[in-house]
C-alpha cells in the first residue's frame, strides 16, 4: 500500500475533501435548519449530525497525524459536536485549510512509517502503517459525505459533480 499512497495522493485527496466540503456546505446552507436537523435514519441521524461527525473524525485523526487538539466530545456524541450551523461551517472551512496545509507537509518517508495511538472507540492501543491510516482518513470522509450528499439530494438541493476526476482537474 505504501507505494500507492504517496504525498501527491495526500495532497490530491486534501484538495478533493476541501472542495467537496465547500459544495456540501453551500448546498446545506440552502436547506432550512429544521430540515438539516431532521432525523432521517442515517447513521448519525441528520444532515447536521453527519456533518458534525465528519468534522469530529477529521479532528481526531488530525490529532494523531498533526498534533491537533482532540475533539471536545466522544465519538458516540460526535453528531452534537457543534450546535450552530454557522459555527460548524466556519470550523469546517478552517479544518479544511489546516488539512491542506498538513497535506503540503506530508512526506513519503512519513507515510512509510507506523502510527501508534490509543483508540477510545476500540478501547485499545492501535498500531498501523501511516499510509493505511491516511487512506482510512480520506475514505471515511468520502463515506460519510456520501450520506450527506444523499440527504442534500433528498431535500431537493444539488452539490454538482462529486467524481474525483471532475472535482480535482489537472491531476496526473
For residue 144, what is the domain's CATH number?
1.20.120.450
The verdict on residue 66 lying in a domain is yes
The verdict on residue 2 lying in a domain is no
The verdict on residue 45 lying in a domain is yes
pLDDT, position 171: 64
The verdict on residue 170 lying in a domain is no
pLDDT in tens, 23-74: 999 999 999 999 999 999 999 999 999 999 999 999 999 999 999 999 999 9
CA neighbor of 105 nearest in space, from 65, 162, 140: 65
Domain range spanning residue 138? 7-163
Q: pLDDT at residue 1 above 60?
A: no
Q: Please count the structural domains in the chain.
A: 1
The verdict on residue 1 lying in a domain is no
The verdict on residue 171 lying in a domain is no
Q: In the numeric block, which cell numbers belong to residue 98?
A: 489546516
Alpha-carbon distance 11 to 93, whole Å? 17
The verdict on residue 25 lying in a domain is yes
Q: Record the pTM.
A: 0.94
Amino acid at each position: 500500500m505504501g507505494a500507492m499512497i504517496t504525498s501527491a495522493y495526500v495532497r490530491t485527496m486534501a484538495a478533493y475533501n476541501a472542495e467537496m466540503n465547500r459544495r456540501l456546505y453551500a448546498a446545506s446552507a440552502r436547506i432550512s435548519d429544521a430540515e438539516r436537523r431532521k432525523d432521517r435514519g442515517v447513521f448519525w441521524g441528520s444532515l447536521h449530525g453527519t456533518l458534525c461527525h465528519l468534522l469530529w473524525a477529521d479532528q481526531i485523526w488530525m490529532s494523531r497525524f498533526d498534533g491537533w487538539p482532540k475533539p471536545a466530545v466522544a465519538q458516540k456524541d460526535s453528531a452534537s459536536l457543534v450546535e450552530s450551523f454557522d459555527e460548524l461551517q466556519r470550523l469546517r472551512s478552517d479544518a479544511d485549510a489546516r488539512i491542506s496545509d498538513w497535506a503540503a507537509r506530508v512526506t513519503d518517508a512519513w507515510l512509510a512509517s507506523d502510527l501508534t495511538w490509543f483508540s477510545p472507540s476500540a478501547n485499545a492501543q492501535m498500531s498501523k502503517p501511516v499510509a493505511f491510516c491516511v487512506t482510512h482518513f480520506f475514505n471515511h470522509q468520502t463515506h460519510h459525505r456520501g450520506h450527506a450528499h444523499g440527504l442534500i439530494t433528498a431535500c431537493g438541493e444539488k452539490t454538482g459533480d462529486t467524481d474525483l476526476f471532475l472535482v480535482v482537474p489537472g491531476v496526473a
